[in-house]
Structure formats: C-alpha cells, structure tokens
Copies of this chain bind each other. A is one copy, B any other.
Amino acid sequence: MTEPMVTFWYEFSSPYAFLAAERVEALAAERGVRTVWKPFLLGAIFREQGPSANLRSPQRTAYMWRDTQRWCDRLGLPLTIPDPFPQNGIFASRVALAVPDDERPAFSRAVYRAVFCAGQKLADEAVVTEALRQTEIDLETAVAASRTDLVKNALRKQTEEAQARGIFGAPTIETADGELFWGNDRLEEALDWSLGRTGAAGRTGGPAR
C-alpha cells in the first residue's frame, strides 16, 4: 500500500471547516497520514441541492453557533460569528489554489482565523492578502495567479469533482479508497480509516455510496 493520505475538502465560509482546519494537521501527523487540501465552493452544490440545512430554521442556526462556540472554547480560540453569514469565499478559494500546495494549509488557517476569530470579511480582498502576508507567500504572484483563467477553471473543476464524488457539505474528508467522512467531528474516524483501523466488522455490507 502507498503512503496513507486523505483529501481535506473545505469551503471558506463554513465554521465546521474552520474548526477542522485548526485540528486536522496535528491529528494527521500523529497518525503519519498525509493531507491534501482542496478548497471548493459549496454554494455551487447548494444551488443544486438546496441551501444549507443549518440555515433552514432559527433553531438550527442558533445550534450551529452554540456548537461552534463550544468547540472554540475547547480549542482556546475566540469566536466572532460572521455577519452576514455565509460569506463569499470565491476570491480566497482561488488564491488558495494559486499558492503552492505546501503553503495552502497555513494560508487557509490564516483566512479562517481572520473571519471566524477576528470578524473580518471573507469577501474582502484585503483580508485575504493580509493572510498571504502572514504566511510569507509571495503576495503579488499569488494574487496575479488567482485572477487567471487557469486558476478560475481549476476551482470550478475542483468543485465539480467534489460534487461528482457525492460531497454535499464541508469539511469532507475523503480517504484514498473513496470513503467520505463529513464534518469536523469525523476527522479522527476518517484518519483512522485511512490507516485501515475500521473497527470490528470492516467494510462489508455498506449501502451504495
């Protein structure tokens, strides 16, 4: 078998992807699993499948933020609830695709903290470029690349790829054998799965994915 790896599918406007972005690298390193970070646009999928369930009723929305607050408390992070919510992450996602693979996690975490901890606007280009500055990525190159058709098409294609795999929410952790795990609360399970630690009964008997 090749080196264990998971794909970390994330959307910048999602609070649960923010929490997972904070947690995934340490959990993966502990287990010797490699991560590949893939930003995508959940909005494109919601346009087909209907809006986020978390926004469907005031009760659900209130619960989402309370749950996020409890997670932030445990992680020692301040939470500022984005207003409005959700915010547009298209520019941040294009820049994330434009930066080198090994810089993407740090850049993405910087964007998430600006938005969910400091209350800055995700759609504000200055917020995204400040995240580039913090991670010492060459700002002008990354921004210029993000404006090319190459990067725009790559993001569109990556979103289509997510959709084709059955992804409908963020974060989703995909293992090398195509298993999907949805949610910050499934990180450990996904990483264990990638190592073949699947619990007692293994893989048989699952319904169609």
B185:A62 contact, CB within 8 angstroms: no
Interface residues of A, Cβ cutoff 8 Å to B: 49-50, 53, 56-57, 59-60, 62-63, 65-67, 69-70, 72-76, 78-79, 81, 166-168, 180, 182-183, 185-186, 189, 198-203, 205-209
B199:A166 contact, CB within 8 angstroms: no
Tell me, in angstroms, the Cα distance from A49 to B62 when the chains sit together. 14
Q: A76-B201, A79-B205 are in contact. Are A180 and B49 (CB under 8 A)?
A: no
Cβ-closest chain B residue relative to A181: B67
B168:A60 contact, CB within 8 angstroms: yes
A201:B66 contact, CB within 8 angstroms: no
| Chain B residues within 8 Å of A81, by CB | 207
A-B residue pairs in contact (CB < 8 Å), sample of 22: A49-B56, A49-B57, A49-B59, A50-B57, A53-B53, A53-B56, A59-B167, A63-B168, A65-B207, A66-B206, A66-B207, A66-B209, A67-B182, A69-B205, A70-B198, A73-B198, A73-B200, A74-B199, A76-B200, A183-B185, A185-B185, A185-B186
